[in-house]
Amino acid sequence: MTGKERREQLIEIGRALFAERGYDGTAVEEIAAQAGVSKPVVYEHFGGKEGLYAVVVDREMTKLLQLVTEGMPSGAHYRQMLEGAALALLQYIEESTDGFRILVRDSHAASGTGTFASLISDIATHVEHLLGEAFDEHDYDGKLAPMYAQMLVGMVAMTGQWWLEVRKPKREEVAAHVVNLAWNGLSHLEPRPRLGPSGS
């Protein structure tokens, strides 16, 4: 196994263990044993458990932010952007369950982005720029974009955390209800919400 292949193997093993047991519940010895190597090999690649954990979290954040970015194309209508963001997060949860478990767990301070609050904040900062552009195009106050970004991302992220465990209904239906609440508000809920053509 090449050094690069070994590094990837250790990342995958670490990712699975961190998702199952959390940072504190995972030991370098376990990671090494599952990889069939000695502890010094883990230290050689990552400097320790903290370094491995930071790499895992960084990869998951990058993957999630990429999905959200692709789901919210610049210039799209507000509702399409919201649908895209909700579907992107739910898709990530469905396809990268271990990764989401790691990101939402109140994790060790070894990673500055390991807690759920900082995850929401990082995504909201990204969404804020997209909303800001849309606000400017439609003569809304762009200074309010950060607040709206926090509200929308927080609503979607908390729903996603709940859906992580229940997995019902299907992600498209969950996204449609999130969009229904965000778009119509409690006073104008649609009785049977559906996503627009781009989200179906």
Digit-coded pLDDT (tens) for 138-147: 788 888 888 8
Q: What is the mean pLDDT of residues 31-57?
A: 96
Q: Please give the share of the chain, as a percent, with pLDDT higher than 70.
A: 92
Q: Given this model, what pLDDT does residue 93 score?
A: 92
Q: What is the mean pLDDT of residues 181-187?
A: 85
Digit-coded pLDDT (tens) for 70-104: 888 777 777 888 899 899 989 999 999 999 988 88
Q: Calculate ∠ Cα 13-14-17, nearest 5°.
A: 90
Q: Given this model, what pLDDT does residue 106 score?
A: 52
* CA separation for the pair 18, 107 (Å, rounded): 9
Give the pTM: 0.81
Q: How confident is the model at residue 107 (pLDDT cuts 50, 70, 90)?
A: very low
Taking only Cα atoms into account, the Rg of the chain, rounded to an integer number of angstroms, comes to 19
Residue that is written with structure tokens 């992580």 in the block = 164
Q: From 95, 88, 92, 91, select the one nearest 72 (Cα to Cα).
A: 88
Digit-coded pLDDT (tens) for 117-175: 777 787 788 778 877 877 777 788 888 888 888 888 888 888 988 998 898 999 999 99
Q: What is the mean pLDDT of residues 40-46?
A: 97
* CA separation for the pair 158, 143 (Å, rounded): 24
Q: Given this model, what pLDDT does residue 109 score?
A: 45
Q: How confident is the model at residue 196 (pLDDT cuts 50, 70, 90)?
A: confident
Q: What is the mean pLDDT of residues 183-188?
A: 83
- Phi then psi for 4, rounded to 5 degrees? -65, -45
